Chains A and B, each alone.
Chain A
Amino acid sequence: MGDFDFVYITQTVGDGLLFGSTYALIGIGFTLIFGAMGKLNMTYAAASLGGAYVGLAAFTFVNAPALVVFLVSALASGIVGFIAYLTCFRFIPIHNHLAALMASIGGLFFIDEIVIHTTDGSPLTFPAMFEDVMFELGPLGIRGDLLFVFAVCIAATAGLLFVLYRSRLGLATRAVSQQDVAARLCGIDVHRTNAVTFVLAGLLGGIAGAMTAAAVGVLSPLITIPLTVKGLIVTVIGGLGSIPGAIVAGLMVGALENVFLYFRGVNERDMYVLLLLFVFLVFRPHGIFGSAISRD
C-alpha cells in the first residue's frame, strides 16, 4: 500500500485525470447514442478499437504519419459505426430495446473476433503523438500525449455540443431523442438522423480508440472488453445522455482508479470503482448531470 506522500499522491491523481480523458471519450460516444436513441450501443468500444486497427494498418503498410493514422482511425470507426447501426439497430423495432442490446453485444464480439483473427491477438506497436514530451512542474510530471488527449476530449465535446445545439442535424437529433413520432410528423427522417448520429459517434470513437492505443503505446484486442465496461461505467455515473457528465465521470473514474490502486492495490481497485457505480445507481441513478428520461 502506498504511503501519504503529498507530491506522489498529487502525481497519481494527475496521471489518473489525464488518462481518464480516454474513458471520457469512450463515454461520450456511448452517451451520444443513448441520448439520441435511448439505446446502448455495445459495439462502440470494439468499433473504436477496430478503427484504430485500420489506422494502424495505414501506419504499417504505407508508413502514414501519426496525424493521418488518427484521421484514418476516425474515418474507419465512423464506417464501422454506420455498419453497426445498420446491422444492430436499423431493422429492429425501435421500442424493442432488449433485441437491439443483444444484437449490439453480438456485434461487439464479432468485431473483436475479426480483429483477433486478423492480428492473431498479438500486441502491436501503435504510433504515439508527443510520446517523449513530458512537462516538468517541480517534482510533478505531466505526459504530453495525455495532455493532448485531454485537449482533444475538450475540443470534441465543444464540437459535439455545437453540432447538437447549433445545427439542423443537432436539432433533428434532439427532436428524435425527445419524441421520434412527433419528429417524423415534422418531416425529420428518423433513420437518417440516427445513422448520422452513429457515424458521428463512430468518428469520435475512432479518435478515442487511437488515443487510447497511443497512450498505452500498444494495441491489443485484450482491451476491448475493459474499455467497454469503463465506457458504460462512465456513461452511467456521468448521467445517461449527458456529454459533460461523461467527461466529468471519465476524469473522475481515471483519477479514482489510480488512487485506489495506490492505496489498496490492483486487486481491490476495480472493486471500488464498481462500488462507486453501485452507489450512483442506488442513490443517484440519473448520474451526475443526467435528468430522468421520460419517453412516451
Chain B
Amino acid sequence: MSKTSISIITLAGVAAATLIAFGQPAFAASERTVKIAGWGAKSGPLRSFGVNSEAVLTAAVKSINDAGGVKLGDGTMVPMEFTYYDSACNADQAISVARKVESQTDALIGIGPTCSGAAAAMYGIFQKTVDDASDTGLQFPILTDTAIRPGLAKKSQWTFRNVPNEITMYDELFSWLRTQYPDAKTIYGGTETDQAHSKLTFAIVIVPLAKKHGFEWVGGGIEGVTGKVRDGYENVLEVSKSSNWLMADTNFSVQARAFKKSGADMMIVSSHPFTTCGMLKEMKRQRINPKVLVGLTSSSSAETLKGCADAAEGMYIPTGFAPITDAAAAVASAAQANGGFADLHSAAAWENAHIIKQVVESMGVMAKPDTLQADRRKVRDGLEALVSVNGLMGEIGRVQDEGESVKPFVFVQAEGGSWEVVHDPR
C-alpha cells in the first residue's frame, strides 16, 4: 500500500473519529429523556430481588414508551429511560450508589435499594426536611420498591415508598383467620433474628396483632404485648429465643422441636424464602401439623415455591400482589419474559414507573440539563402531593406526611405448587 493511500485512510479515520466525538454530544444534548436510576441487589445471595425488580421496571418503561412516552412541561413527548445499578443489599453500596446517582447523573429520581436494612441506612443521608439550609443531606427524590419494614420513609422528606403496609395486612389477616378457625386459640412462632424485616415484623406486628384478635402465645411470658403494634416486642423476642434462627442457618431441629412442644394451633414462620423452606422442611420431618400456618409477606414469592412447595402447602400469607387483575396478570407475564418474577416486592417497580410518569406530567418537568435540580424538586413535591394513584391491584392511597403508601392486598395460600388467593378484602 502506498504512503498516499495510508495517509488518506488515516485522514478519513481521524475525520470519522472527530465527527463521532463532536457530533454525538450535540445530538445527545438535544435529546431530552426522563431518566430514572434504579438500584438493588444484582449480586450477593439476595440477587433475585434485584433481578425481579429490574425485570418489572424494564417492562414498565417499555410500556410507557410504547404508549408514546412522557409529556414534559412544554408539551414535548419524550421517552423514559432507566439505568439499574447493583447495590447488593448492602448499606454501604446503597449509599455509594445514591451519592453517585445524585451527583454524577441526570436522573430525576431513584428507585431502590431493595432491602430494608440498606434502605434504612441510605435514607439517613438524605435531607431530612425540605428547604432546611443547615442540612446538607442529598436532595434527590427516592421512590422505593421492595423494602417493606414498617415506617422507614419518614426518615426524610425526599424518601417515599410504594410498599404494602404490613400492619394493616396482618391486622386483617388475623381478623379473617379468627372467623375461619374459631377453634384456634394459641400461637407460637419464630423468626430469623439477623434480618430486621423478619424480626421486627414478627415482634412488632405479627404477634401483637395475633393477640389483638384473641390468639394467645403458648406458655405466656408476653405480658407486655397488649395487642397494640410495638407494645412489648422485646418480650416477644425473649420468649421465642430458642425458636428463632439466623438467615444462613442450616439446622432447624431445635427450633422445630420448640414448635412441636408448644402444640400451638397457629404457627408463624417469619422469615425469607431460604430459611422458611429449611424450617418448613424440618417441621414436616418432625410431623408438625398446626391448624394454621402463617408466613412473612416476603415469602409469598416464587422462590419459596421453588424451594419447598410441598412443605409450604397450606401456609397463609398476606400479599400486595397477585395476578388477579388483567393489569397484574400482564405485568406477571412481562416480568417472566424479562427473566424475573412479579411479586409483592417487585411489582411495585411497575407502579413506580407509572407514578413517576404521572408526577412528571402533572408537575411540568422540563428535563433539561439546566433544570435538573428544579425538576428533581418538582418530582419530590409531586410525590408529596399525591393522594392516591392507580395500582395493579386497585387504588393505592398515599400517606402524605410519611411518604408511605396504603396498598390493596389479598391473602394467598400455598396450594399445589402455586399461591392461590383465598380471600380478597379489597
Q: Is A8 interfacial (CB-CB < 8 Å)?
A: yes
A115: min CB distance to chain B, Å: 9
In this assembly, does B261 line the interface, its C-beta being within 8 Å of a C-beta of chain A? yes
Contact yes or no, B244 A121, CB < 8 A: no
B285 engages A222 (CB within 8 Å): no
| Contact status B43-A218, CB under 8 Å | no
CA A141 to CA B286, docked complex, whole Å:
9
Residues in A with CB closer than 8 Å to B44 are: 116, 121
Selected contact of B45 from candidates A2, A220, A263, CB within 8 Å? A220
Q: Does more than half of chain A's interface fall in helix, strand or loop, or is it mixed?
A: helix
Q: Quick one: CB contact mask for A117-142 with B, threshold 8 Å, 1 for yes?
A: 10011111100000110100000010
**Bound Cα distance A257, B193 (Å):** 16
| B306 touches which of A124, A261, A270 (Cβ 8 Å) | A124
The residue on A at minimum CB distance from B258 is: A2
Contact: A267 with B193, CB < 8 Å? yes
Segment at the B interface, from A11-19, A156-164, A178-186, A242-250: A11-19
Total A-B pairs in contact (CB under 8 Å)? 124
Question: Which residues in B have their C-beta under 8 angstroms from that of A121?
Answer: 41, 44-48
Contact B278 A8 (CB under 8 A): no
Q: Does A235 lie at the interface of the complex (its beta carbon under 8 Å from any beta carbon of B)?
A: no
B307: chain A residues at CB < 8 Å are 122-125, 218, 220
Report if B250 contacts A (CB, 8 A): yes
Size of A's binding interface in residues, CB under 8 A: 46
- Cβ of B303 to closest chain A Cβ, rounded Å: 5
CB pair B47 A266 closer than 8 Å: no
Chain B 14-63 interface residues, beta-carbon cutoff 8 Å to A: 41, 43-48, 51
Q: Which listed residue (B41, B245, B308) contacts A125, Cβ 8 A? A: B308
Instruction: List which B51-104 residues lie within 8 A (CB) of chain A.
Output: 51
| Residue B273 at the chain A interface, CB threshold 8 Å | yes
Residue B196 at the chain A interface, CB threshold 8 Å: no
Assess the B47–A226 pair: CB atoms within 8 A.
Answer: no
Among B48, B254, B273, B307, the one with the most A-chain Cβ atoms within 10 Å of its Cβ is B254
Contact B250 A12 (CB under 8 A): no
Q: Is B248 an interface residue (CB 8 A)?
A: yes
A77: Cβ under 8 A from any B Cβ? no
Contact call B43/A122, Cβ cutoff below 8 A = no
Evaluate contact between A212 and B308: CB separation under 8 angstroms: no
Chain A residues with CB below 8 A from B246, complex form: 266, 270
5 A-B pairs besides A2-B242, A141-B286 with CB distance below 8 A are: A15-B253, A220-B45, A226-B249, A266-B245, A267-B241
Q: Would you list 19 pairs from A and B whose C-beta atoms are within 8 A, ordered by A residue?
A: A8-B257, A8-B261, A12-B253, A12-B254, A12-B257, A120-B48, A123-B277, A123-B303, A125-B306, A215-B250, A217-B278, A217-B308, A217-B311, A222-B274, A258-B251, A265-B244, A266-B241, A266-B245, A267-B244
